[in-house]
Amino acid sequence: MDSFISNIKTKYNGYEWVPKSTGTSSVTYLIKREKERKYVKISKAELITYQVEMLNYLKGKLPVPEVIEHIVHNGVGGIVMSEIVGTNFRDYLSCITPNRAVEIYADAYNKLKSCDITHGDFCPLNIIIGDNERIAGFVDFEKSFKGKSQKDLHEAVFIITKHYGENYLRKFFKIVGEGLV
């Protein structure tokens, strides 16, 4: 993977490369030059290719990053994407009340559900909040799939319960309309 990263860095020479995350299966960089900002995600070729397919499928249905370039070489894949301007929901949580956090999380869940998509990693880190506490977009679709599943719902229940307690689940379910109020 190191030689793959070196090749992409050569192609995007003149950009500052800022490591953003190193997951178990991928690495993500913010690359920036003057006012231009993009994200580069590198992982196994099949995971990147799948994510590109999902982003293209979701384009126009949900606010997702635009695919600028998709590169595959020797089993490693890279995707260069546009930036969704805003703050990830995890970092934003400290600025809002638990009630507002649950409202935003429920709104995010409903947006995904309306597109008949399961995110697969429906955590606050993958939801971007823009101006006026509105959802600006969603990121990280390598675990997503078309069709409905209880996976995103289970993740939401876990996160809300862990951070705010079971009392806030009633509000969440009332908003998402899952019939468990």
| Same domain as 29, residue 15 | yes
Main-chain dihedrals φ then ψ at residue 144, nearest 5 degrees: -80, 165
| Same domain as 140, residue 77 | no
| Same domain as 128, residue 67 | no
Amino acid at 153: L
Examine residue 46 and state whether it is found in any structural domain, yes or no.
yes
- Residue ranges making up the domain that contains 113: 87-176
Per-residue pLDDT tens over the stretch 146-171: 987 789 999 999 999 999 988 999 99
| Same domain as 111, residue 36 | no
What is the per-residue pLDDT for 87?
Answer: 93
| Same domain as 94, residue 71 | no
Per-residue pLDDT tens over the stretch 21-77: 766 678 999 999 999 999 999 999 999 999 999 999 999 999 999 999 999 999 999
Q: Please give the share of the chain, as a percent, with pLDDT higher than 70.
A: 96
Cross-sheet strand order for the sheet of 87-88: 87-88, 127-129, 135-138
| Same domain as 154, residue 73 | no
| Same domain as 169, residue 92 | yes
- Mean pLDDT, residues 109-136: 93
Domain end call among 82, 111, 143: 82
Contact present, 55 and 77 (Cβ < 8 Å):
no
pLDDT(1) > 80:
no
| Same domain as 165, residue 107 | yes
- Mean pLDDT, residues 67-93: 95
| Same domain as 47, residue 34 | yes
Q: Residue 17 is part of a domain; what is its CATH number?
A: 3.30.200.20
pTM comes to 0.91
Q: Residue 160 is part of a domain; what is its CATH number?
A: 1.10.510.10
| Same domain as 56, residue 113 | no
Q: Please give the share of the chain, as a percent, with pLDDT higher than 90.
A: 79
Domain end call among 82, 114, 135: 82
Examine residue 181 and state whether it is found in any structural domain, yes or no.
no
Q: Which residues are within 8 A (CB) of 86 and not within 5 positions of it... i.e. 6 or more apart? A: 128, 129, 130, 131, 136, 137
What is the per-residue pLDDT for 181?
Answer: 46
- Mean pLDDT, residues 94-107: 94
